[in-house]
Amino acid sequence: MSRKIFGTDGVRGTANTYPMTAEMALKLGAAAGRYFRTDGRNGHRVVIGKDTRLSGYMLENALTAGLTSTGMNVLLLGPVPTPAVGYLTRSMRADLGIMISASHNPAHDNGIKFFGPDGFKLSDEAEAEIERILEGEVEPAQPQNIGRAKRIDDGRGRYVEYAKTTFPARGQLSGLKVVIDCANGAAYRAAPEVLWELGADVIPVGVTPNGHNINDRCGSTHTATAAEAVVAHGADLGICLDGDADRVMILDENGRVADGDQIMALFAARWAEADRLRGRALVATVMSNLGLERFLEGRGLRLERTAVGDRYVVERMREGGFNLGGEQSGHIVMTDYATTGDGLIAGLQFLAAMAETGRRASDLVRQFDTVPQMLKNVRYGAGKEPLTDDAVRKAIASAEARLNGSGRLLIRKSGTEPLIRVMAECEDEALLAEVVGEIVGAVEASV
């Protein structure tokens, strides 16, 4: 069954514009409620978290109205990280978890992500079934069976306590100065609290959300702000989260960035050495650098690639029984600890590596030499399908012929924004720039 409004990470778009309207959120809540409440009982629960976007209030209220209209009881967490919703859905024995966030996108966007009772994101099949229900008339509950809504005041505190348990039991961060950039997003209170309670000297950045400044010149997509703070304060490490804190970038004491590939390489090598890397494999997407694959092969480990999207990484991890995966963009999935990417817990694991090895961050952030990679995005308008254009197809075929096995080419539509992503890898940087430029030029001409 096809999905029309769900993308690679739930439903996402510009706030107050289809499909991110209050009306659609109400209908979506009702459809999800009907999908999960099939037995007429009144004990069904939904937990709802959100990031700090202004539109979160509107969508939270609309979802609550839709869910309670079908008899679901709603537990409102307020601003918490996406991984906290996954954790609390399972911990609170809820049937459904919902996170209202557009992750790393700007403040004018928003999104709705769904988690099942096991704390993992819903499957494509479940989302398609919710869409099928959405397209019909959703049967409301009888008046006496309308659900209730309740604020949960300690949701953040529960997550904070859990996050601390993922750090070595006798370990502490005293003597370490850590910059934590929360992107003015969902972790703006939780992340600094965890680090401070573990003993770190915390330098907080991006912790003054106003509804409009999430991901604005801060966080994992704009690491320069945190890098300046690291250098200015003489910090040992910088941890940059995105708006919903499910992805991370690590900065060493010089402000140099380690992306998801480098972080995964470190964890994979350490876990394999400790005989805790299940299947001796790491799961990552087609976007991960060829250098990561070579790094793993050199240690007798395997890289399993999936489609782009942390949900597909997690699906493969669960299918194969693997416990480490993620994306170059900073989603680090460790199913020993969390059901989805968790930027804060990944940061804690990096700090644990520093503490246990006695090495500086700069010794750990560069695990392998990357193969030159170029990624460019081309925005397109409504109703356009650039990848079906003959000129674009010819440009792609020409690029593949020119690379002739010496590199990789990946052209795809974004699942969260109207973008064509053009990515290539090649040792010959001049050739790399030429093939990417030709494809980008053809796509731009088609839109």
Q: Is there a domain that residue 107 lies in?
A: yes
Q: Is there a domain that residue 17 lies in?
A: yes
Instruction: Name the residue range of residue 60's domain.
Output: 11-153
Q: Is there a domain that residue 1 lies in?
A: no
CATH number, domain with residue 243: 3.40.120.10
Same domain, residue pair 193 and 173: yes
Exactly one of 55, 69, 101, 103 is catalytic; name it: 103
Same domain, residue pair 81 and 163: no
Q: Is there a domain that residue 36 lies in?
A: yes
Three-state DSSP class for residue 251:
strand
8 A C-beta contact, residue 151 and residue 64: no
**Residue 7 pLDDT class (50, 70, 90 cuts):** confident
pLDDT in tens, 41-71: 888 999 999 999 999 999 999 999 999 999 9
End-to-end CA distance of the chain: 29
91 flagged as catalytic: no
Distances (CA, A) of 169 to 163, 166, 174, 198: 12, 8, 14, 10
Same domain, residue pair 240 and 270: no
CATH number, domain with residue 388: 3.30.310.50
Q: What is the pLDDT of residue 1?
A: 47
Domain end residue (candidates: 130, 153, 176): 153
Same domain, residue pair 23 and 145: yes
DSSP character string of 52-91: S-THHHHHHHHHHHHHHHTT-EEEEEEE--HHHHHHHHHH
Same domain, residue pair 144 and 37: yes
Domain end residue (candidates: 254, 273, 307): 254
Q: Is there a domain that residue 3 lies in?
A: no
Rg (alpha carbons) of the chain, rounded to whole number: 22
Domain end residue (candidates: 363, 383, 410): 363
Same domain, residue pair 149 and 32: yes
Q: Is there a domain that residue 2 lies in?
A: no
**Residue 2 pLDDT class (50, 70, 90 cuts):** low
pLDDT in tens, 231-251: 999 999 999 999 999 999 999
Q: How many domains does the chain have?
A: 4
pLDDT in tens, 87-146: 999 999 999 999 999 999 999 999 999 999 999 999 989 999 999 999 999 999 999 999
Same domain, residue pair 24 and 149: yes
